[in-house]
């Protein structure tokens, strides 16, 4: 697929259809991919990569890219197209300035899951029939492909591209995913167990803001947590209250807009399963307002910004809060 992508990108650059290409650039190792903008065939030949490690969702970069002159070609995986649509819906991306090529999605790999197996000194990773052959300084190691799959891919919700100008490869379907399993498990806990679970997880937070900054739903020009005038700006989890509230407030703020792209958990250096907070909101919205998938389209009214007579009453909080 990588070769087909490079070929198509070169054609579109050459005939002037686009001025830039956003994709992924290879790094020092097999896995350290950086999202990048390419402007020439030479750059594409030299650095462009699309492989098992190109998990980063490039949709959010298009906010910045479409503020520039000219048109940009974006390669979007199915999950990325949801983020893209949502950003178009929120008028953060100028759709006219992007040429979208839908590409096959994951499952993509998580180098941390390979490392967690005690595999170190990693020089190369090859997928041979869904067994990973990992070249290391200490010899070749193997592990099953599916044990190294990113969390966000393990509970993939859709192989369907909800927006594209053209496709490389086939389009897929919305999947019957298991993504709410862990949320249900948490719901079935006692309040104390659930509190302990989240305290344990959120106490690991180092407030690096990677979750917020990578999140396609977090595109405020100046976040309240960075704005000295907001009165609640803070740079550090000074106490447990702040550790909790940063993530909970963020989850509230993106509720109904989060497409469940899973980038927050992918980038968390402390492996906090932040996506579970967002999935709880998604699940609640589905149950209380009817099935809704943020980013599935660019025109519908979102349940939390719309009013229907059969919407649930605020008292639902008390009804459901009873243990």
Partner 1 sequence: MQKISKSRLYELFDAVAAKQDLYIPTDREEGAAEYKKYESGMKLTKELNTVRSAKDFFFPQTENLAEFRLEGKNIEVKDIREECDDFVIFGVRACDAKSFTILDKVFLCEPVDSFYKNRRDHGTVITMACTRPAETCFCKTFGIDPTVPGGDVSCFDDGENIFFLANTEKGEKFVESISAFLEDGDTDKLMEVQTRAREIMGKLPLANLSTGNFGGDKLNEYFNSDKWAELSEACIGCGTCTFVCPTCQCYDIKDFNTGHGIKRFRCWDSCMYSDFTKMAHGNPRLTQLERFRQRFMHKLVYFPANNDGEFGCVGCGRCLAKCPISMNIVKVMKALEAK
Contacting residues toward partner 1, per CB under 8 A: 27-29, 31-37, 56, 61, 112-113, 115-118, 120-123, 136-138, 204, 206-210, 212-214, 222, 226-228, 233, 235-238, 266-267, 269-271
Q: 36 or 285, CB closer to partner 1?
A: 36
Nearest of 37, 30, 195, 43 to residue 110 by alpha carbon: 30
- The whole-angstrom separation of Cα 217 and Cα 223 is 12
Q: 16 or 118, CB closer to partner 1?
A: 118
Q: 154 or 312, CB closer to partner 1?
A: 154
Residue 267 CB, nearest distance to partner 1 (Å)? Answer: 4
Q: 36 or 163, CB closer to partner 1?
A: 36
Residue 56 CB, nearest distance to partner 1 (Å)? Answer: 7
Q: 141 or 293, CB closer to partner 1?
A: 141
Which sign, positive or negative, has the C-alpha torsion 37, 174, 113, 60? positive
Q: 41 or 214, CB closer to partner 1?
A: 214
Residue 279 CB, nearest distance to partner 1 (Å)? Answer: 20
Q: Tell the burial category of 77 from Cβ atoms under 10 Å away from its Cβ (0-12, 13-18, 19+).
A: buried
Residue 142 CB, nearest distance to partner 1 (Å)? Answer: 18
Cα distances (Å, whole numbers) of residue 82 to 102, 113, 122, 281: 11, 26, 33, 17
Residue 33 CB, nearest distance to partner 1 (Å)? Answer: 6
Q: 70 or 269, CB closer to partner 1?
A: 269
**HEC sequence for the chain:** CHHHHHHHHHHHHHCCCCCEEEEEECCCCCCCCEEEEECCHHHHHHHECCCCCCCCCCCCHHHHHCCCCCCEEEEECHHHHHHHHHHHHCCCCCHHHEEEEECCCCCCECHHHHHCCCCCCEEEEEEECCEEEEEECCEEEEEEHHHHECHHHHCCCECCCCCCCEECCCCCCECCCCCCHHHHHHHCCCHHHHHHHHHHHHCCCCCCCHHHHHCCCCCCCCCCCCCHHHCCCCCCCCCHHHHHHHHHHHHHHHCCCCCCCCHHHHHCCCCCCCHHHHHHHHHHHHHHHCCCCCCCCCCCCCHHHCCCCCCCCCCHHHHHHCC
Q: 235 or 318, CB closer to partner 1?
A: 235
Q: 29 or 195, CB closer to partner 1?
A: 29
Residue 23 CB, nearest distance to partner 1 (Å)? Answer: 11
Residue 228 CB, nearest distance to partner 1 (Å)? Answer: 7
């Amino acid at each position: 697929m990588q070769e087909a992508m490079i070929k198509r990108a070169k054609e579109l650059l050459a005939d002037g259809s686009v001025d830039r290409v956003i994709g992924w650039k290879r790094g020092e190792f097999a896995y350290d991919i950086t999202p990048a903008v390419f402007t020439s065939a030479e750059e594409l030949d030299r650095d462009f990569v699309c492989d098992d490690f190109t998990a980063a969702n490039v949709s959010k970069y298009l906010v910045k890219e479409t503020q520039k002159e000219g048109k940009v070609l974006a390669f979007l995986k199915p999950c990325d197209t949801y983020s893209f649509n949502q950003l178009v819906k929120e008028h953060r991306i100028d759709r006219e300035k992007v040429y979208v090529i839908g590409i096959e999605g994951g499952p993509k790999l998580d180098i941390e899951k390979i490392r967690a197996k005690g595999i170190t000194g990693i020089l190369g990773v090859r997928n041979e029939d869904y067994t990973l052959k990992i070249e290391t300084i200490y010899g070749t190691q193997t592990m099953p492909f599916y044990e190294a799959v990113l969390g966000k891919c393990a509970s993939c919700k859709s192989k369907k591209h909800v927006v594209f100008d053209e496709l490389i490869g086939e389009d897929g379907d919305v999947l019957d995913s298991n993504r709410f399993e862990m949320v249900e498990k948490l719901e079935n806990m006692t309040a104390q167990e659930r509190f302990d679970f989240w305290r344990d997880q959120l106490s690991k937070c180092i407030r690096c803001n990677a979750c917020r900054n990578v999140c396609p739903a977090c595109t405020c020009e100046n976040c309240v947590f960075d704005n000295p005038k907001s009165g609640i700006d803070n740079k550090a989890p000074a106490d447990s209250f702040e550790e909790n509230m940063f993530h909970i407030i963020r989850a509230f703020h993106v509720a109904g807009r989060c497409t469940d792209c899973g980038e927050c958990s992918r980038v968390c250096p402390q492996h906090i399963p932040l996506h579970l907070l967002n999935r709880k909101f998604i699940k609640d919205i589905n149950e209380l307002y009817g099935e809704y998938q943020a980013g599935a389209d660019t025109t519908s009214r979102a349940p939390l910004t719309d009013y229907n007579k059969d919407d649930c009453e605020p008292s639902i909080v008390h009804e459901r809060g009873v243990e």
